[in-house]
Chains A and B, each alone.
Chain A
Amino acid sequence: MSRISLYIPLGVFAAILGLGYVGFDLGARNELPSALINKPFPEFQARLLDSPETTLTREDLLGRPTLINVWATWCPTCLSEHEQLMQIAASTDVVIVGVNYKDQPNKAKQWLAQYGNPYRWVLDDRDGLLGIEMGVYGAPETFLLDAQGDVIYKRVGDINPRIWRDELAPRFRQLGIAMAMGNTDVGANK
């Protein structure tokens, strides 16, 4: 064996170490990429939380960008992201649709009354079936749809100031969603 080939095992060892170092450092390795990205949002029919006789379908989401937020009163992270959603609702003209996921309608209404309602509509998904159509596996999850009803972004976890600044705001700008003048950093310094 030549001198150089003696170092091959060391090289392989270093490569494995490097792979582990990079692999275990990937923050998003527990996050499923959505199967819906760049695909049309699924067809659905869901009752509204505050008026069960009214149903909403996919057609109602077309024509302008929509932010769909899956939440529940049993989900503490949903409460911690709520303030950010309130700010997005107040400072942009995006339509925010809430999906009240596997929750009790009464609790949900009380929750919205207490903490504020950033949603244009809240869909009642108490059995989680709409959630399954959307590939939801926990709450909160947030989907951004363009005017054609295609999913262009999905966030698993909370919408926090960093996610707003780095992930959502640039996409809002791309989609041409009006945002409060000079205030594209909504909540970023909170």
Chain B
Amino acid sequence: MSLLGRSMRFGYIPNAFRRIAALVCVCVLPTGAVMAASQIDTFSFTDEVQERRYRALIEEFRCPKCLNTNLAGSDAPIAQDLRKVVYRLVVTQGMSDQEVRYYLQARYGDFVLYDPPFNAKTWYIWLVPIALGVLALFVLLRLVRGARSSATVLNAQQQERLQEIVGNTAGSSDR
């Protein structure tokens, strides 16, 4: 309801304002994005697909030194080096995304993958949340069932009162 109202209200904004707003969006937002992206590297790409793949990959890997930052977001020397490596693998050596993943994983272990594989060392990362979810569901079910059964227990006096209240309508719906 309020969403609809708001979008309708946009209809009343004078054209000039809308144009200015559009202009601001067109001019400011892309520069912001470009600034954020070009903050750290000076690599040149001839191929747009390669550039997109490079950016996606450095977003994907974890910096080994800084633990909770990805390669794209870290200024650590090792992250700079690894960005160079990713660039080289993608652009110069023409590796596929999966090959780049294997390359880094072989040297820095599962740690560099934010999306860890399921294996003997990592099974609990994957299974604990599922187990907790099942447990939560179980507890919830029991709570709901408990609430339902306790809610229906009325003593004789309450039963009488209930009959009193619903007595009139109960007669009409009784077939």
On A, residues with C-beta under 8 Å from B are 1, 30, 32-36, 42, 102, 128, 131-138
Contacts and interface: CB of A to CB of B under 8 A. Distances in A.
A32 B107 contact: no
Interface in B39-54: none
B146 A35 contact: no
Contact of A35 (B67, B81, B82, B108): B108
B78 A32 contact: no
Q: Which 9 A-B pairs have the closest CB atoms?
A: A35-B109, A137-B64, A135-B107, A137-B78, A137-B65, A135-B108, A32-B111, A128-B81, A32-B64
A41 B56 CA distance: 30
B109 A33 contact: yes
B68 to A, nearest CB: 11
B67 A132 contact: no
Contacts of B82: 132
B109 A102 contact: no
B8 interface: no
29 contacts: A1-B146, A32-B64, A32-B108, A32-B109, A32-B111, A33-B109, A33-B111, A35-B105, A35-B106, A35-B107, A35-B108, A35-B109, A35-B110, A102-B77, A128-B77, A128-B81, A131-B81, A132-B81, A132-B82, A132-B85, A133-B107, A135-B64, A135-B107, A135-B108, A137-B64, A137-B65, A137-B78, A137-B108, A138-B65
Interface string B91-113: 00000000000000111111100
Q: Which of A32, A102, A131, A137 has the most CB of B within 10 A?
A: A137
Given A102-B77, A138-B78, A34 B109 contact: yes
A36 B105 CA distance: 10
Q: Which of A1, A132, A136 has the most CB of B within 10 A?
A: A132
A57 to B, nearest CB: 18
Q: Which of B82, B85, B106 has the most CB of A within 10 A?
A: B106
Given A32-B108, A137-B65, A138-B78, 19 more contacts: A30-B67, A32-B64, A32-B111, A34-B109, A35-B105, A35-B107, A35-B108, A35-B110, A36-B107, A128-B77, A128-B81, A132-B85, A132-B107, A134-B107, A135-B64, A135-B107, A135-B109, A137-B108, A138-B65
